[in-house]
Structure 1
């Protein structure tokens, strides 16, 4: 008799379960059909019956996105009273909690939507909303920029001396500008955080000072200093970055450039040589190093690095243009005699070569050819030395011993 009662109980439970499942299926079917026909008013109660039962089996049919669309329609497209809208706002927040419970992989998105409802519809206090947006971004760093911008707007609007919202806004919009470098809006937002670029420098410095081992904050400070042309200030974070991440090419490029601009030649040379070690096929590194040696009047060394750049890219006119400048600089630094005129001629010939390459420096090179016409040998210079067209003149003399080239009488 006990066995019979036990079996009857199991049968009853199974039948009850089947009936419950049947009810849920019927409710979902009605919800699905009403939603498909855009009858959101009729769809809503059936959606809730499914969600408040066990929606697990219906998630694959996009139950929660469809219910979200239904609720947003009811909020935006009906003539509900103000009290009804307020209740609906609370209902939608409850809905997002249920969505997070059953679709945790989309918790970031649903949390961001929850923050939006509290911000725009309920107009809750910023101190309540900001942590929810922050949580959403923490859960899903790849959230659409729209929600990150909403958070940034709240940061900026509520920034004061009593909080660090300016720093947080700076960090947020810096990340957005890095993720979307071609979107000018994020740069504009960055600039709006501070009254001027110098304040932005101070903000990024403070951010790094509070987290001194943070490479990202050091880089933002350095990049802001460079934008403000505060090269001396940029030096410290860049030196830190190259020490902590010695293989990052961009850090060395910026540090070498900063040393260059500060006329710290020895340090610039070491930095450019490190760049060449890290990036032996980087033609710009050789030219930049050559320019430092040019500034130091070490023209032979400068030319050797220009030649390496030419070997990497024979069609690049810039190192040819700089080589011509080396010869012009050499001639200016020595006595203006016939040999100096021949060196100017060598410079002119090299400028002509650069001009013929039709690159970025072609027009400048052509201008230098015209500018040096009064510095090259005249017909009388050749006549008195019994030189005729086609003769070769070797560049020589103590002042030009490094050149090792010849020019031809035109």
Structure 2
């Protein structure tokens, strides 16, 4: 009986003690919360620590860790703390982040990034210690703000050597940032700063791809770097790989077609541009690019056919008309300079005027060509001796111009 009374008494005392502890915990949190709300961070800190060191789990929903973080950063930055006090606060803050990660694992990426920043800026730890913390933060939360990614990139670049592969890691990091924020020139500048020159950057991206040959992202980084360096010969390999692995990606085919064209691999360029048209039949530029190749091959009729398709998509685009006028000039130059050649030059002038009338990007170029050809077109005497009057129609004909099938009017 005595034992039973003893047990009951102990149970009662423990219950009272537990209730007291719980009440004390609530009181400490309430004091912390009020002091923090009133921005009295100096008074708030001790009560916040009592809660965090005892049992902060029931106060997560009240954002105890973000509030405590704000408190600690204030104490470090916004008081007259001595250097020794700041050093002690830095150690405290690092300990705090370990506790935050323990109780809020879903926010581990954020807390790790903040911890790495404190290690870097306040604790002045070595890059070898800081880099893994930033890396772990990004692994847990790839959507962390670009600020922390840039901090890691800076450390990569400063610490890079032949053995640690940090140049490749920095390249990968800033490439992703430039893709995520294409309008931010800072990331391109950072990319370019990784290498001493663009040729070295080409080699770095090639090495990165070589180590992971089936990686499409790394293949594209290598290809795009080659294109930026205007090294079209090297660009072909990754672009061919990309078009094989992802045959429906229009941009890969466009870049490959352009590289083939720059390298005078004409047949391959034509086939690649035809693939682009197949994938993007409403892309007006695709038809013009193909027309320019056929123009260069002196296949003027085929070139005009593709220009007409571009005009059909966008009748107000002046560029196809400019190129069409150039086709007529090219035809006239390649044949004997006789009256019919003059008429073809007149057809070119009429087409240049059409391009100029649209008021687009090439309006001035087209108008300049009209002036340049004024001595190449038929004169009044040419019309007079052939008994042609104003308003008469002259059909372009002859073996040299059979493909044209156009007419001009006597002015």
TM-score where L is the length of structure 1? 0.96
Cα separation, 1, equivalents of 2:76 and 2:109: 22
Deviation string for 1:263-317 (max 9, x for gaps)? 1111111111111111111111111111111111111111111111111111111
Structure 1 segment 307-346 matched on structure 2, within 5 A? 307-346=308-347
Cα separation, 1, equivalents of 2:288 and 2:151: 45
1:137 Cα deviation from its structure 2 partner: 1.1
Please, which runs of 5 or more residues in structure 1 have no aligned partner? none
Please, which runs of 5 or more residues in structure 2 have no aligned partner? none
1:208 aligned partner: 209
1:67 aligned partner: 68
2:298 aligned partner: 297
Cα separation, 2, equivalents of 1:399 and 1:11: 114
Question: Which secondary structure does the structure 2 equivalent of 1:75 belong to?
Answer: helix
Cα separation, 2, equivalents of 1:249 and 1:13: 73
Matched positions, count: 410
1:287 aligned to 2:288?
yes
1:9 Cα deviation from its structure 2 partner: 6.2
2:36 aligned partner: 35
1:56 Cα deviation from its structure 2 partner: 1.9
Query: CA, structure 1 residues 303+84, in 2 after alignment: closer, same or farther (shift >3 Å)?
Result: same
1:84 Cα deviation from its structure 2 partner: 2.8
1:142 aligned partner: 143
1:47 aligned to 2:48?
yes
Deviation string for 1:164-196 (max 9, x for gaps)? 111111111111111111211111111111111
1:26 Cα deviation from its structure 2 partner: 0.6
Question: Which secondary structure does the structure 1 equivalent of 2:356 belong to?
Answer: helix
Cα separation, 1, equivalents of 2:13 and 2:290: 88
Structure 1 segment 109-188 matched on structure 2, within 5 A? 109-188=110-189
How much is the aligned-residue C-alpha RMSD, in angstroms?
1.6
1:8 Cα deviation from its structure 2 partner: 6.5
Deviation string for 1:218-251 (max 9, x for gaps)? 1111111111111111111111111111111111
1:211 Cα deviation from its structure 2 partner: 1.2
Query: CA, structure 1 residues 5+309, in 2 after alignment: closer, same or farther (shift >3 Å)?
Result: farther
Deviation string for 1:340-374 (max 9, x for gaps)? 11111111000000000000010000011111111
Query: CA, structure 1 residues 13+247, in 2 after alignment: closer, same or farther (shift >3 Å)?
Result: farther
Question: Which secondary structure does the structure 1 equivalent of 2:54 belong to?
Answer: coil
1:86 Cα deviation from its structure 2 partner: 2.3
Cα separation, 2, equivalents of 1:306 and 1:13: 91
Query: CA, structure 1 residues 305+9, in 2 after alignment: closer, same or farther (shift >3 Å)?
Result: farther
Cα separation, 1, equivalents of 2:191 and 2:70: 34
Cα separation, 2, equivalents of 1:409 and 1:107: 81
1:229 aligned to 2:233?
no
TM-score where L is the length of structure 2? 0.96
1:117 Cα deviation from its structure 2 partner: 1.0
Cα separation, 2, equivalents of 1:76 and 1:197: 42
